[in-house]
A and B are shown apart, each in its own frame.
Chain A
Amino acid sequence: MRGFERALKVQFHEGELTEAELQAARLLMEGKYGTREWLLERKVAPNLREELNALFPASDNR
C-alpha cells in the first residue's frame, strides 16, 4: 500500500462498499457473472441494464 501511495501520490483511507454498490454487485452476480450464459456466450440478463440504470441513473455507458 505504501508503494502505491508514494508512486501515485494518493492517501488511502479504509472504507466499505456502499449499499448501492452491494446491490449492484448482487444484480451483476445474478444477471451476469454468476451465469453460464455470460461464461459461454457473453450474454447478460435482458433486464440487467435497466436495473443498474435505476441504481445509478447517471451512468449510461455500459
Chain B
Amino acid sequence: MRWRLIRSPALSGAWNMAIDEAMLLAHAAGLTPPTFRLYSWSPPAVSLGLLQPADVVNEPVCRQLGIDLVRRPSGGGAVLHQHEVTYAVVADGRLCPDGSSVLATYRWLARGLMEGLKLLGIDATLPESLWETKTPSRSLSFCFVRLTGADLEVGGRNWAAPLKPDAAFSCSNTAVSRCDWRTKYLPAYSVRFTLTLLPVWNSLQDAVSLPTNSQRRW
C-alpha cells in the first residue's frame, strides 16, 4: 500500500498541531491517502495533553527560556519537544492487522519504530502485554515517565511513547496516532540521557533528511 510521506521543516508547536489536525480532517474526508509526516519543533515547545491543566508548567519560566507552550489535540502528559524527530500518522484504523483499538494501533506503529531503531543498532522492545503499565508515583504530569503496553523500552526506559489520540480523532474508521521520538529531557536524568542519545539523534536526522525551512513551505 502506498502512503504519502511528508517531511516538514521545524515549525512552532501551534503550527505542528494545526497541520496534524488538518491532515486528519482531509483524510477523514477521503481527500488524501494514509500519511506519515515527519517534523521537528522550533522553537522548543512543551506540549500539554488535551485534558491537562495549563498550570502543570511554569509559563513565565518557559517564556524566559524561549520555550513555547501548546496544547495538543490528544491526551497524555506534558512533553518537552527539543532535539527530536516527531512523526504523525493519519490512517484508517482498519489497516492495523491487530484491530483498530487505540492500543493495537499504537503497537502496530511502534513495531515500525522498533524496526527503524534496529537499523540504528538499538535493541528496543515492546512490553509483552498490551496492558502492561509501569507508572512511578511521581511526575505523573510528564508523558515519558509512564510506560504503557505500547511504548518502546530501551534498557528499561520508556523511550518513544505514542501520544494518546483524542477520541474525536477516531472518527469514520480513521485513527490518528502520533509518536514522538525524542531525547529524554526530564529533570531527574536529563543531561545524561541527552548526551547518551545525541549521536543517535544526529544519525536519525541524517537518516530521515529533514528539510531546512528554506527548502519547503511546511
Contact = CB atoms under 8 A, between A and B. Distances in A.
Contacts of B119: 2-3
A59 B28 contact: yes
B69 interface: yes
B37 to A, nearest CB: 9
A46 interface: no
A9 B96 CA distance: 11
Nearest to B19: A25
A24 B112 contact: no
Interface in A1-56: 1-18, 20-22, 24-26, 28-29, 32-34, 38-40, 42, 52, 55-56
Given A28-B21, A28-B22, A56-B25, A21 B32 contact: yes
Contacts of B29: 56-59
User: In the complex, which range does the number of interface residues on chain A fall in?
Assistant: 35 or more
A58 B216 CA distance: 29
Nearest to B97: A9
Interface residues of B, number: 51
Contacts of A26: 18
Contacts, number: 142
Interface in B192-218: 207-208, 216-218
A18 B113 contact: no
B71 A42 contact: yes
Interface stretch (B1-9, B76-84, B127-135, B143-151): B1-9
Given A3-B115, A17-B19, A21-B22, A10 B34 contact: yes
A20 B27 CA distance: 11
Contacts of A52: 25
Shortest 9 CB-CB contacts between residues of A and residues of B:
A3-B116, A3-B115, A4-B112, A61-B171, A24-B22, A28-B18, A15-B4, A12-B5, A56-B29
Given A12-B2, A15-B4, 10 more contacts: A3-B112, A3-B116, A6-B115, A10-B3, A12-B3, A16-B6, A24-B21, A24-B26, A26-B18, A32-B21
